[in-house]
Amino acid sequence: MFRNILKIAYRNFVKTTLYSLLNVIGLAVGIASCLLISSYVLHETSYDTFYKDTDRIYRVNMTNIWMPEGGVMSSTVPPLALVLSADYPEIESALRINTMGSNIFRLENDRKMTSYYEEDILAADSNFFSFFDFELLYGDPASALVGKNKIVISEDVAIKYFGKTDVIGEEMLMGEERTPLTITGITATQPTNAHFNFDFLVSIYTNERIKHVENNWIWTQVVTYVKLVPDAKPEQLEAKLKDLAPTHAAPVLERWGISYDEFLADKGDWLFYVQPVKDIYLNSAAIGNRIGPVSDAKYMYIFSFTAVFILILAVINFINLATARATVRAKEIGIRKVLGSVRSQLILQFISESIINCLIAGLLALGLSEFLKIAIENYLGSTFHTTEWTNVSTLLIIFMALIVLGVMAGLYPAFSISAYKPVNVLKGQLRSGNKAKWFRNALVVLQFSISSTLMICTFIVYQQLQFFTEKDLGYDRENVIVLNWADKLGTHLDKFHHEILNHPQVINASVSMDVIGRGSYEDIFGDVASGYEQPIAMMKADERQLETMKIDLVHGRFFKEGNKADERSVVINESTMELFGYTEENVLGQEIYYGGDDMGKAKVIGVVKDFNFYTLHAPIAPYIFYHINAGSGVWGNARVISIRTREGNPAEFIQFLENKWNAYVDNAPFDFSFLDQEYENQYRQEQQLGGLFAVFTVIAILIACLGLFGLASYVTNERVKEIGIRKVLGASVMDILSQFSGGFGKLILISLIIAAPIAWYAMDNWLSQFIYRIDIQWWVFVVIGGIVLIISSFTVGYHSIKASLTNPTDVLTDE
């Protein structure tokens, strides 16, 4: 019997090769897309699930004390871990990870010095590997970070510096001080589904500053983790943490002359929260992750629904084509029934053919999904779950899923076609009927409703990304080259700066502690008149900063070259003016103090227009400019040079910079970046998600069009004699074309009417997460509607034109 089923299935496949291929290809593309999206979602939801004690590890978050409106942040303070491990029996141990920022590493070998600037540098307590059990190729995880000046490096770093991996006991030099660090561990390739990775991991007290801030409750540059004792309840611990800040932080602030209540004004209480480590990656969009990337759980729901929708489209294609082909197979059914076949046998035949098609499509889909995975990883940088195709369980799950899919896709056609009465079939009285026609039309509407919704959503996502790219930030990031590590020039910095300014391609250049757009440095500043203190972001910059970055001055002036008094002056933004209650009339001459050193009061000499120094995910906040020479020794000695250049090829100018750099610096490599590229990289995740969504939207519309192509072919074949009669009666090609295309056009218009409100609601929800967002415009729906109509018209038009050009005598000879 099974052999007979295979024979019939094969004959039908060969007899209608085009439509069978359309069916299989549509299914294959749908299944491949579903597999691909599933692979992506599996990877994204697997973050931090592989540690030995994953279920007992939590990150401690706290009130965002640096934002006027409060909120929650992932950064915490050094003494928190010490207090937690000492005072709370629910906690087995606590861990601190400090972000040390970038630094220079050197290796002296055979009297030659190798040096690189490195970014992924973390410092951690000695119990790091008892929390996060990354595999070590060499070294003892229990002792690798015990003591000062110990470092664990990645396998790639070991090869980069030493050309081999077994380098335990070797030394590297860190920073300008050339602090010797002993290598005590080499990590294997780190998993891609951890919420942080590192190239360099040093013992925490290697950072000399940690000892000095171990009782500092506003130095928020560490991330704190706790491991709970077995069976401890995190919600009970969180309730006990409500008294932590008033008990420990308040007395320290009071000793510094900072009122605890005023400090928390408008922020609510200073609270601490515990977050499961498995939730960090997907549930920290608003909280952040100081040491790694974050995503958003809602994207996983969006992609999961997209996978289901695409699979539904593919199944709809199958059902539509199968029911449309009913008239072709009607005589076969009639003859088989006359010869004794019962309905159950016919149902089994059609469901078996559906399963066979699904299995063939599934085999094609496995290869197609791997090809798409490689292409998307290379183009978008997205990471997917690695599928073990040699795993019997994996293959069995996929096989069973294809069987279930085949049964589900074949049920309606099987029951519908097997119900034909032999007497009607053999008399030639079979017609598809209004019921079947309405069913097929409903499926077409559903297909294009889904596809149109995805297209509208993709277009709006693209618009929001373009908005990020084109929005006026309050400063100009275009044509700005940033020379990093300019402090390595030492006493040559001023001369180097002067030579840059004299270059014909340079419009202006400014020396500052960092470049605007990379983030901010917050600290506590107060208004002398009122004593009101608040966290404010600050920047040290020279007198050319505003002209170089094209920031608008609205009141007063900026720093002047050679004016020593300006070293004790500040320029604030409009948000700082509002924060301290200054007005346009009285702001100039107001005095602001910083409690972190003995530099005293600073006079406000100017106000600049607000600008976005954070990403566009955050609102504009208060900001203060200090002179580059203010508070020597305070806020560090890091320097960069921001260089605004004229339009043109920057390669020659960069070569000029490198030559000048090498003339003055012989112990640090030349390093530069383009500010506009740095800005775009801040939205890399949105770009990746938008790219993925666009890929799957194209696939969805392709599947819908494949189905429409096949359906249009069968409908025109079914009505070929009608077309012949119309031509005999004088109908033109355009008349016939409009007659047939118009029917499908109405279905597409209905689908667009359904899709528009759904897409608007979904996108309005998505856009609500952004502080700065576009407004959804009505013309978007018109444009997408026009595109969908054009695509569907071309899809249907081929068959309509072909049928209308047929000679009536070829189809009416037997009438």
Residues 271-289 have pLDDT tens digits of: 999 999 999 999 998 898 9
Q: Strand pairing partners for 107?
A: 114
pLDDT at 114 (0 to 100): 80
- Residues 270, 62: contact at Cβ < 8 Å? yes
Q: What is the DSSP letter of 387?
A: P
pLDDT at 642 (0 to 100): 96
**Poorest-confidence range of 225-234, 612-621, 668-677?**
612-621
Tokens at 324, concatenated: 């449309």
Query: Could you give the C-alpha distances from 470 to 145, 412, 478, in angstroms and in order?
Result: 46, 51, 11
Query: Could you give the C-alpha distances from 123 to 100, 130, 133, 395, 586, in angstroms and in order?
Result: 7, 15, 16, 43, 46
- Residues 710, 407: contact at Cβ < 8 Å? no
Those residues with Cβ within 8 angstroms of residue 492's Cβ, 6 or more apart along the chain or in another chain? 664, 665
Residue with tokens 């040093």, as numbered in its chain: 202
Summarize pLDDT for 142-194 with one digit per residue, the tens: 999 999 999 999 999 999 999 999 999 999 999 888 899 999 999 998 998 99
Instruction: Flag whether pLDDT at 22 surpasses 90.
Output: no
pLDDT confidence band for 415 (50 / 70 / 90): confident
Angle formed at CA 246 by CA 243 and CA 251, multiple of 5 degrees? 145
Q: Strand 200-203 and strand 121-124: pairing?
A: parallel
Summarize pLDDT for 182-203 with one digit per residue, the tens: 999 999 989 989 999 999 999 9
The conformational region for residue 534 under phi > 0 = left, psi -120 to 50 = alpha, else beta, is beta
> Please, is 554 exposed, middle or buried when counting C-beta atoms within 10 Å of its C-beta (0-12, 13-18, 19+)?
middle
pLDDT at 655 (0 to 100): 93
Those residues with Cβ within 8 angstroms of residue 219's Cβ, 6 or more apart along the chain or in another chain? 77, 78, 213
Summarize pLDDT for 237-263 with one digit per residue, the tens: 999 999 999 999 999 888 887 888 888
Tokens at 108, concatenated: 């002296």
pLDDT at 360 (0 to 100): 87
Nearest to 627 by CA among 510, 724, 735: 510
How far apart are the C-alpha atoms of 47 and 345, rounded to whole Å?
Answer: 49
Query: Could you give the C-alpha distances from 665 to 107, 176, 510, 672, 673, in angstroms and in order?
Result: 17, 13, 20, 15, 18
Chain Cα centroid distance, residue 131: 27
Summarize pLDDT for 97-153 with one digit per residue, the tens: 998 888 889 887 766 678 888 888 999 999 999 999 999 999 999 999 999 999 999
Instruction: Flag whether pLDDT at 390 surpasses 70.
Output: no
Instruction: Flag whether pLDDT at 711 surpasses 80.
Output: no
How far apart are the C-alpha atoms of 391 and 749, rounded to whole Å?
Answer: 46
pLDDT at 339 (0 to 100): 65
Q: Strand 672-674 and strand 480-483: pairing?
A: antiparallel
pLDDT at 63 (0 to 100): 92
pLDDT confidence band for 684 (50 / 70 / 90): confident
pLDDT confidence band for 741 (50 / 70 / 90): low
Those residues with Cβ within 8 angstroms of residue 656's Cβ, 6 or more apart along the chain or in another chain? 503
Query: Could you give the C-alpha distances from 202 to 149, 196, 214, in angstroms and in order?
Result: 7, 15, 18
pLDDT at 96 (0 to 100): 97
In the Cβ-directed half-sphere of 283, how many Cα atoms lie within 13 Å?
13
Looking at residue 357, its amino acid is N
What is the tally of helices (H) and strands (E) in the chain?
Answer: 26, 24
Higher per-residue pLDDT: 403 or 709: 403
Tokens at 722, concatenated: 């009608």
The packing angle between helices 297-324 and 684-718, to 10°, is 10
N- to C-terminal Cα separation, the chain: 40
Instruction: Flag whether pLDDT at 432 surpasses 60.
Output: no
Asked whether the CA dihedral 751, 754, 757, 763 is positive or negative, the reply is negative
Higher per-residue pLDDT: 693 or 224: 224
Instruction: Flag whether pLDDT at 228 surpasses 90.
Output: yes
Looking at residue 718, its amino acid is E
Q: Strand pairing partners for 123?
A: 98, 202
Tokens at 735, concatenated: 């008349």
What secondary structure does DSSP assign to 332-382, as a single string? HHHHHHHTT--HHHHHHHHHHHHHHHHHHHHHHHHHHHHHHHHHHHHHH--
pLDDT at 804 (0 to 100): 65
pLDDT at 277 (0 to 100): 96
pLDDT confidence band for 429 (50 / 70 / 90): low
Q: Strand pairing partners for 508?
A: 644
Instruction: Flag whether pLDDT at 495 surpasses 60.
Output: yes
- Determine the average pLDDT of the residues in 650-657: 91
Higher per-residue pLDDT: 708 or 652: 652
- Determine the average pLDDT of the residues in 617-629: 88
How far apart are the C-alpha atoms of 814 and 423, rounded to whole Å?
Answer: 22
Summarize pLDDT for 587-603 with one digit per residue, the tens: 999 999 986 655 678 99
Instruction: Flag whether pLDDT at 729 surpasses 70.
Output: no
Angle formed at CA 493 by CA 492 and CA 497, multiple of 5 degrees? 120
Phi, psi of 55 (to 5 degrees): -70, -10
Residue with tokens 């595109």, as numbered in its chain: 787
Query: Could you give the C-alpha distances from 434 to 337, 439, 440, 485, in angstroms and in order?
Result: 24, 8, 10, 75
In the Cβ-directed half-sphere of 9, how many Cα atoms lie within 13 Å?
20
Higher per-residue pLDDT: 81 or 335: 81
Nearest to 44 by CA among 301, 379, 371: 301
3-state secondary structure of 254: helix
Higher per-residue pLDDT: 156 or 403: 156
Q: Strand pairing partners for 154?
A: 187
| Rg value, the chain, Cα | 34
Tokens at 497, concatenated: 């700066």
pLDDT at 173 (0 to 100): 92
pTM, entire model: 0.80
pLDDT at 799 (0 to 100): 65
How far apart are the C-alpha atoms of 449 and 49, rounded to whole Å?
Answer: 38
Q: Strand pairing partners for 108?
A: 113
- Residues 274, 58: contact at Cβ < 8 Å? yes
pLDDT at 668 (0 to 100): 84
Tokens at 132, concatenated: 């996060």
Tokens at 709, concatenated: 């192509």
Q: Strand 179-187 and strand 150-154: pairing?
A: parallel
For 385-390, the CB contacts below 8 A with 24+ separation are 385/38, 385/39, 385/40, 385/42, 385/43, 385/46, 387/39
CB-based burial, 412-426: b 16+ in 10 Å, e otherwise: bbbebbbebebeebe
Higher per-residue pLDDT: 769 or 655: 655
- Residues 510, 541: contact at Cβ < 8 Å? yes
Q: What percentage of the chain has pLDDT greater than the value 90?
A: 37
pLDDT at 51 (0 to 100): 92
Looking at residue 272, its amino acid is F
In the Cβ-directed half-sphere of 398, how many Cα atoms lie within 13 Å?
24
Q: What percentage of the chain has pLDDT greater than the value 70?
A: 83
pLDDT confidence band for 494 (50 / 70 / 90): very high
pLDDT averaged over every residue in the chain: 84
Summarize pLDDT for 465-479 with one digit per residue, the tens: 888 878 888 899 999
Asked whether the CA dihedral 378, 379, 381, 384 is positive or negative, the reply is negative
pLDDT at 313 (0 to 100): 81
3-state secondary structure of 162: helix
**Poorest-confidence range of 430-434, 761-765, 792-796?**
430-434
pLDDT at 129 (0 to 100): 96
